[in-house]
Structure formats: structure tokens, C-alpha cells
Amino acid sequence: MTPEQEFDDFAVAAWPRLRRSAYLLTGDHHLAEDLAQTALARTYASWRRVRRADALAYARKVLVNANIDRLRRRRLTEVGGPGADGLIEARATGGPGPAVADERDEIVRLLADLTERERRVVVLRHYFDMSESEVARELRVAPGTVKSALSRALHKLRVTASEQDALFLKETHR
């Protein structure tokens, strides 16, 4: 198998996870696709040096770094932005399909309330199931920074989720 064929197979398998990860980081479908494409393009450029067993980890790191780069150079007002792509705002009442979509949208809305650092830490720690030390290495911060950012983020998520649940219960009992 040629290196190009190996990369093609890798890209097809990694695309959904990279795109979903980027969406969790940005809250925007279009930015997520752009970031996932950028990650794959940069991974392809380095494909000869990438260990095949660590290819997804390499692409994930490229994705996170591309998002950091985007945030550093972004304009004050981005066209679109989180929520501009028509995320579902109301809770679904029917079958498992809408409930799953609603749950995913709720996660993205909750993550949107976090700072960029908190969002990166939560996504890497819980979506990618990385240890605190792995997250610290990936983000090039101290493990204590990861712990404190994660603690603050989880507290914010709990408070926001509790408030949303209380609001939802209040609205449904009217």
C-alpha cells in the first residue's frame, strides 16, 4: 500500500471524529469542517514523519493547534459564529433521533459558555478521554492549570445545566 493510500484510508476513518471534535471546540459547523480539513491537510504534509499508530493523536494535536491559531488571529467580529447555523433551541419530545440531536446540541450550547481554554480542556479530557498529564502536554500548560481549568469548567457546566433544567421544568408546568 502506498503512503497516499494509507493516508486516504486514515483520512476517511478520522474525518468524523476530527470534525466532531472541531465542532465541540468551536460550536460552528462551518468552522469545524474548515479546522478538520486543515488538520488533515497539515497531517498529510507531514505524513512521512507520522507514526501510523499515533496518526489520530497527531491529527488531533494539529486540529487543536489550528484552532488556537485561528483564535489568535481572528477578527473582532466573525461572520456567523456559534449558534448562527441553526442549532436546535427547543427540547425534542419525540423518539430517540431528535433526543440524541437535542442532547448533542445542548452539549455544544453548554460548551459555548466556557472560555476557550476551559473548552479545550473539557473536550480533550472527556471527549478524547485523555489524562490530565496528557492534556497538559498537548496544550503546553502545567498539570495544575489543567486541573483548575477543568474544575472551573465543570462547575460552570453544572450550574448552567441546573439552571436550564429548572427553566425547562418551569416552562413545561405552565
- Per-residue model confidence as pLDDT tens digits over 90-117: 333 444 555 555 666 777 888 888 898 9
Same domain for 49 and 108, yes or no, is no
Domain identity same for 115 and 148: yes
> Bigger pLDDT: 78 or 135?
135
Encode 66-102: b = buried (16+ Cβ within 10 Å), e = exposed.
bbbebeeeeeeeeeeebeeeebeeeeeeeeeeeeeeb
pLDDT-based confidence at residue 80 (cuts at 50, 70, 90): very low
Same domain, 74 and 96: no
Determine which of 83-87, 148-152, 153-157 has the lowest per-residue pLDDT on average: 83-87
Domain-ending residue, one of 85, 113, 140: 85
Greater confidence (20 vs 103) lies with: 20
In angstroms, rounded to a whole number, what is the distance separating the alpha carbons of residues 80 and 83? 8
Number of domains in the chain: 2
- The reply to whether 140 and 65 lie within a common domain is no
Asked whether residue 2 falls in the same domain as residue 77, the answer is yes
Same domain, 96 and 78: no
Characterize 35-54 residue by residue with b for buried, 16 or more Cβ atoms within 10 angstroms of its Cβ, and e for exposed. bbbbbbebbbeebeebeeee
The average confidence (pLDDT) of the chain is: 80
CATH, residue 111: 1.10.10.10
Which residues span the domain enclosing 155?
92-174
Residues 130 and 150 occupy one common structural domain: yes
CATH code, domain with 25: 1.10.1740
Residues 50 and 110 grouped into a single domain:
no
Instruction: Tell me, yes or no, whether 45 and 74 share the same domain.
Output: yes
55-75 pLDDT, tens digit per residue, is 999 999 999 989 888 887 764
Domain stops at, among 70, 85, 100? 85
pLDDT at position 111 is 85
Same domain, 23 and 43: yes
| pLDDT the model gives residue 162 | 75
Instruction: Looking at the structure, tell me whether residues 63 and 102 fall in a common domain.
Output: no
Distance in angstroms between the alpha carbons of the first and the last residue of the chain: 63
What pLDDT sits at residue 20?
Answer: 93
Whether residues 47 and 74 share a domain: the answer is yes
